[in-house]
Structure 1
Amino acid sequence: MSSMVYRAMKICSTHQALHDEYEFIREVSLKNGYPIAFGESVIRKQLNLVYPPHAIISTTPGTDIIVLQVPYYGKASQISGNRLTAVVAKQYSSEQVRVVYDVTA
């Protein structure tokens, strides 16, 4: 049956003609006693050989990391960095802030 599907894919020049051939192949497989799922799986396998399935793209957003370099002036810099991190986490759940303290400034 896979050779029938392959032949249909090579010969048919329109989508409608290909659809009609697939319907014919399904009918022939049913008349020969094969279950519908078997005919569908053969068609699917042949189509996947010619047209590989697209990769599924996740719809969940990834976490972006924002690096913020600030001068270090003691405890006040740490408090400001913690507050900034908390505000960004609250407002933008898909963003993450990493505060880097610069002691050379």
Structure 2
Amino acid sequence: MDAPLASIIADVFMTNLETTLMDDLINAGVCEWHRYVDDTFIEDGDKLEFLDVLITRSTGYQLFETTIYRKPTYADLLTNYHSYVSMQYKNGGIITMVNRALIICSTYTSLAAEFNEIRRIGLLNGYTSSFIDTIIGIKLSQYRKKNNDVIQSPQSGPDVKKRMYVEIPFIENATKEFRNKITHLCNKLRLDLDIQFFMKPSPAVQMLYQTKDPTNKKMKSDVVYSIKCTQCQHSYIGKTERQCIKRLHEQGAIVILLFGV
């Protein structure tokens, strides 16, 4: 929908579709139809896969139940526990799945089943059961506490700390030691700061070496070039998507390019 009128055209088309075909859709078994522009939520039967949510009509046909949906092509891959990356990324992979389960799963049965699925995926990627269960326990406790606590308005005034995000390279123990020292100094000298660290993984080995020979200047394409007249002070500036040498040859400037005459 890059065109300015795309959303209007889509809305007109879908409105016409609903007007002319809605009776046929109902006769075909469509129970629910909700639309926003051209995104539709259609219930046809008892189950519906929508993004990463599996929506099921309950037995009494009064409520919808939701749980996690994974496509058949899902490969059960996470950042391997033995990968040389910060523990933040390893924690994040499990935490993300647990948070998603807590938000989407509408029953304790589906939530328990999803936790078992998270354990299975984690074990396939080198995570230990204790590691996964610890994260599940922490996030579950936080979720319950959040739902039980009374919602309070955000703090304001001088007691609120200013949050600062800092990116540092990941060099295992050296990174942890550096982070702890900075945090300790900040707690002593700058009580108004809340520093959040992000560990940047080391670059891949292939990034340290050239895998291709550099392209010769006259063989480059999609360039802007300038041709200066040898008999006066005028010059011509052009642009081409083809190789520079071919375009200059067509304009009779090949001698200038090769020999600098």
TM-score bracket for this pair, using the shorter chain length: 0.3 to 0.5
Q: Which has the higher strand share?
A: 2
Higher relative contact order (CA 8 A, sep 6+): 1
TM-score where L is the length of structure 2: 0.20
TM-score by length of 1: 0.48
